[in-house]
Amino acid sequence: MNSPPLTGLRVLEFAGLAPGPFAGLLLADNGASVLRIDRSIPHVTHSASATPLPTSDLLTRHKSSIAADLKSPSGIDFIKSLIPHTDIVIDPFRPGVLEKLELGPDVILALNPKAIIGRMTGFRRDGKYKDMAGHDINYIAVSGALSIFGRKGEKPLPPANVLGDFAGGGATLFQGILLALIAREKSGKGQVVEANMVDGSAYLITFPRMLTKTLLWSRPRGENTLDSGCPYYDTYETKDGKYMAVGALEPQFFTLLLKGLGLGGKGIEETREDRNTWPAMKESFTEIFLSKTRSEWEQIFDKTDACCTPVLDNIELEQDPNREGDQRPAVTLRETPSLALSPDSTSNRDPSTGQGTGVDGGSYTGTALYPGQGGEDTLSQWLGWKRGKDFDIENGGLVKKSNAKL
């Protein structure tokens, strides 16, 4: 197998919350060398006599860290010395923070015209809420995304922080960085890539937003085909308190669902699109699913096209890799597979799984980096820099050696 596709790219990731580190994780899992910049702690970071506590960031697979004093001119000067040797800079801060550090895009691009600066914000930089603090729930609220989640008669239900932080945020920033890399191949120039979770989550609901103009999704929340209004697109509790998911939208799949439920031949197929029948149908499905355990329903529906599957939780998946529990990269690259996510990742892998070799997987239990962990080794690998020769430690942060030519 060949190396992962982003091998050789160097990334500086300013430490931040979930979206920025997730973009960095996607880069690292695909071969990029990602060096996180943490804030220094005097007499603790980069110290031989003390080890700082790990940060709360668990999205650290394949990454390393250095510490720098971002309030010190010497700390900022050290970061500037890395910019000419860096392909990508990830900025996770609120608007204006990087500029206050004198590390704004104009400064970075002046130091390295080929640099790609990936900037992640929650609200739009030019929008109504640009100066306000927020979290995932706020970003998807003003994007329109949150309004579509929830059952009839109930308040909107946020899908944890997956849609804003990770799908609309980190993954969207990653996409933008890849586009900028392609553009750089043509122009030879870097550029600023701006992503925000409002636009990202709004883009992800393109299809349902368009469907609201059609009969398929024109009703209030929880009364449409795909938002729990339809009895054959919903989840049902089983006898043992677990759940089955039903998605039998097409007639041929619906027929097989009815057969498995013992409802075949009762004429339900002919009236299934009549919304007046849906409440009674849902009540019937609810009662029937409660009559058997999830395992019993699995035996009935496995290897059928009834579109009826178990709702698996992460504990089950972790304990049983035969249920798709062996977490893999999101896409399979047959010739240049991404680094492995699952345990035993140091062995050679079948390219059909999309996984190359890598560190032991952390797809269920993340490993937090402490500030400064592994970063000096990365500087040596990147540039051959050594402590005492090229840089020193000042107040727990890296600074240029006074006589070093970096």
Residues identified as active-site:
165
Helix axes 19-29, 172-187, angle to 10 degrees: 60
Of 253, 163, 255, 147, the C-alpha closest to 200 is: 163
Q: Check: CB of residue 258 under 8 Å from CB of residue 264.
A: yes
The number of CA neighbours under 13 Å toward the Cβ of 237 is 6
Q: Check: CB of residue 27 under 8 Å from CB of residue 174.
A: yes
Tokens of 366: 């993340």
C-alpha torsion sign, points 65, 67, 76, 391: negative
Question: Containing H/E element for 90?
Answer: strand 88-91
CB proximity list for 374: less than 8 A, separation 6 or greater: 63, 64, 65
DSSP string over 31-51: T-EEEEEEEP-TTTTT-SS--
